[in-house]
Amino acid sequence: MEIYSGKSVYGGIAIGRLRVFTGSESQVKRIRIDDTAAELERLEKAREKAKEQLKQLYEKAVREIGEASAAIFEIHAMMLDDSDYIESAENIIRTQSVNAEYAVSVTGDNFSNLFSTMEDEYMKARAADVKDISDRLLRILCESPDAFDSSDEPEIILADDLAPSQTVQLDKEKVLAFVTVHGSSNSHTAILARTMNIPAIIGCSVKLDSSLNGKTAVVDGGSGRLYINPDKDLLDEMRSKRSEEIEQQKLLQSLKDKEDITLDGRKIRLYANIGSLSDIAAVFLNDAGGIGLFRSEFIYLGRSSLPTEEEQFQIYRKAAETLAGKKLIIRTLDIGADKQADYLGIGQEENPAMGCRAIRICLTQPEIFKAQLRAIYRATAFGDISIMYPMITSLWELKEIHRIADEVRHELLDKGIECGEPEQGIMIETPAAVEISDILAEEADFFSIGTNDLTQYTLAADRQNPRLDDFYDPRHPAVMRMIKRVIDNGHKAGIWVGICGELGADTELTETFIRMGIDELSVSPSSVLKIREKIRNSRMNL
């Protein structure tokens, strides 16, 4: 039995087989080969296999997400037939006598750089496609399993790191646990693991190697341990620990349908955070009162072009309809920093967390913002939708947002399209927004405090940097004081204030937040019932 340690992101026990996902960032070695004919044949076989995979993915996607979204796999298959691309790779093998992996990697980089410098937006977006097909060919050539072409059996995913764009493509039913060698506990991949309610470990000391594929392993998310080839004693111990967890879950289930009310009668709105439509099932299972944060940017990730207004409308409408009158707070596109979409053309930034992200993209590329707002406004006819704007730092941004939103709404009404007048709130996740929260409160319908970013910007500690985990302290007194101040300023202006950052799920602080006057807590679905338990055992007044 081998034992490896890492940092816990989400607790729970998983027992199953390992699958090593090497992803697209793996280093490709340049190896000289003598038999170029054999290498060309390997490339051809890989191409055939990639086309077959894409055909299957296309069929699966048509069934699960519809023809329009599935088309991307058809485009990828067509690109594999593109003679320029394949001829370039063949040429590198022939002229340099090198391995197919190296030839594919160089060709992929060359073509994707070529596309990304083009003026035309459509052609620019093809850069990500070329990268995708090159990665697929590489995975086949390296015989590393494709995390996205899931096997039938749920597995433990072992990866160097996972980008949010990769994580969103995983078939959640097929993932028992995540273990990554790198990554930070405050990253969006970690947040996704919590939303998916699966054990997860980061910073694990295991050495990735394809020979680990298929080996039996145990992940103990709580203690941050990974056991490979566990012995019988450990398996027995973990099985009984898992049974205890299930018992605890059952106990929490008895809190379903109970009110979120303190011992002295203060009602708290307890909502859930989601990243996709498929998370709504967990919202119901855990009996959240609504959705306090729909991270809409996940709709924009893991694809190679912008989602259309219609695609987005269908998603928001379905969410609103399914929630049947429960509140749905849609946060507008918060892309940037660790959530990258190449087709937006932001390019490399020196400091992406402080770069062109979130509302800054929306205000500098208003056509993208307007398409999303149109989709949301159209969906307001189907449920109780509110809109929330991320990364606000200034009053002028909010005024400009309102101007654009009003324009969009009136254009729709002029066309005879029904739309409501949703609440429009903002995230308080920058020190600047805290500092002027009294002024912003006059313009916003509600505040939702994003403690993840607020901590990073207040403490000058990059939430993505695992080496800073000891410095990145969301319970820091500076952050706690800011939360109190924002609540007070919001209340003075008569608006409600919630927390949708991960700190909202810190059960040791639930009573503190209630005493500060918090109106709403929005947490990952799996945390809802344990927070309910805390609320019901807390007092607003001493």
Q: How far is the CB of 422 from ligand PEP (least distance, A)?
A: 19
In the bound state with ligand PEP, the residue whose beta carbon lies nearer, of 200 and 255, is: 200
Given a contact cutoff of 8 angstroms between Cβ atoms, the answer to whether 291 and 318 are in contact is no
d(CA 193, CA 77) in angstroms, rounded, equals: 31
- Crossing angle of helices 67-80 and 36-65, rounded to 10°: 170
- The pattern of x and - marking residues 177 through 196 that bind ligand PEP according to CB under 6 A reads --------------x-----
Nearest approach in angstroms of CB 477 to ligand PEP is: 18
Contacts 24+ apart (CB under 8 A), 358-363: 358/333, 358/334, 358/390, 358/391, 359/332, 359/389, 359/390, 359/391, 359/392, 359/397, 359/401, 360/336, 360/391, 361/333, 361/335, 361/336, 362/332, 362/333, 362/401, 363/397, 363/400, 363/401
Q: Which does 185 bind (CB under 5 to 8 A by kind): Mg ion, ligand PEP, none?
A: none
- Give the whole-angstrom CA distance, residue 405 versus residue 449: 22
Instruction: Give the footprint of ligand PEP on residues 425-484 (CB under 6 A).
Output: 429, 450-453
Least separation in angstroms between CB 293 and ligand PEP: 6
* Closer to ligand PEP by Cβ: residue 155 or 453: 453
Nearer to ligand PEP, 380 or 452 (CB): 452
Radius of gyration for the alpha carbons in the chain, expressed in angstroms and rounded:
24
Residues 287-306 that bind ligand PEP (CB under 6 A): 293, 295
Residue 207 makes CB contacts below 8 A (sequence gap 6+) with: none
Does residue 334 touch ligand PEP according to CB under 6 A? yes
CB of residue 413 to Mg ion, shortest distance in Å: 32
Among 203, 289, 302, 501, binds ligand PEP (CB under 6 A): 501
142 is catalytic: no
Residue 164 interacting with Mg ion (CB under 5 A): no
Our finding on whether 520 is near ligand PEP (CB under 6 A) is: no
Sign of the alpha-carbon dihedral angle for 337, 362, 458, 501: negative
Compute CA distances 296 → 289, 394, 486, whole Å. 19, 22, 24
3-class secondary structure, 429: coil
Q: CB 295 → Mg ion: shortest distance, Å?
A: 9
Q: Restricting to residues 396-455, which ones interact with Mg ion according to CB under 5 A?
A: 429, 450, 453
Quick check: is 188 catalytic?
yes
Would you tell me which residues interact with Mg ion (CB under 5 A)? 429, 450, 453
Would you tell me which residues interact with ligand PEP (CB under 6 A)? 191, 293, 295, 334, 429, 450-453, 500-501
Active site residues: 188, 500
